[in-house]
Amino acid sequence: MHIPDGFLDAKTWISTTIIGAGAVSYSLRKSKLSLEPNKIPMVALIGAFVFAAQMINFPIAGATSGHFLGGAMTSILFGPWIGTIVMAAVLLVQAIVFQDGGITVLGANILCTGFIGCFTGNGIYMLGIKLLKGRGRAALTFIASWMSIVAAASGVALLLALSGTFELATAIQAMVGWHMLIGIGEGVITMLVTGYLMERSTAIPARGGQAAYENVPRHRA
């Protein structure tokens, strides 16, 4: 759901640039405390996967584009702070090298696709893990992924409406409506990838926000 240049008015893209920069800066600080050196290769691998998957997108009438996000996947595996950094890096390369998403609206894209997507997915997943005591992990992953993409799409729709680019109803219908469908595919992919990695203990979540995993038996949900 990359927003192109020109879709947001000055007050909106300047505000989201400041907020997005602050979110990335704070995420970097938190990531330095939580990222274990032996997990860096896996973080890079998942980042490359997300990058490739996001490049497959299609236009959505009345808004921007629809595609796989990956915020829930990265945040479930490594925590929301590292997930935000991964998403920001992916969006930065896409905007500068491939002109996929605007430069002036990079902060808005990071805020919606990265920050909102990662924290929504991680928050729902971790809450479910605590409430269900580790049971139903696959279902929780699916739900968290679906909710993360819907939340991110809602953020984009709101920014488009605040900028006067589209009516709120039009933006929500286009963005949220389509991404509710895309979220089904995202949920399935995230469920399979995270399930495979966790089951083989090749992607044990980093410290900081993911400690709940340490006491949860690894088994098929």
Q: 90-141: per-residue pLDDT in tens? A: 999 988 888 777 899 999 999 998 999 999 999 999 999 999 988 889 999 9
Helix (H) or strand (E) holding 63, with range, is none
Please list the alpha-helical segments (H only) found in the chain.
10-34, 40-54, 71-78, 80-97, 106-109, 117-132, 137-162, 168-199
pLDDT band with cut points at 50, 70 and 90 for residue 65: low
State which fold the 10-215 domain adopts: Arp2/3 complex 21 kDa subunit ARPC3 (1.10.1760)
Q: 139-162: per-residue pLDDT in tens? A: 999 999 999 999 999 999 999 999
pLDDT at residue 16 in the model: 95
The domain spans of the chain are: 10-215
DSSP 37: G
Q: What is the pTM of this model?
A: 0.82
pLDDT at residue 116 in the model: 95
Mean pLDDT across the chain, nearest whole number?
Answer: 84
pLDDT band with cut points at 50, 70 and 90 for residue 79: very high
B/e letters for 99-119, b = 16+ CB within 10 Å, e = fewer, are ebbbebbbbbbbbbbbbbbbb
Q: 13-26: per-residue pLDDT in tens? A: 999 999 999 999 99
Query: What amino acid occupies position 57?
Result: N
Q: Is the pLDDT of residue 219 over 60?
A: no
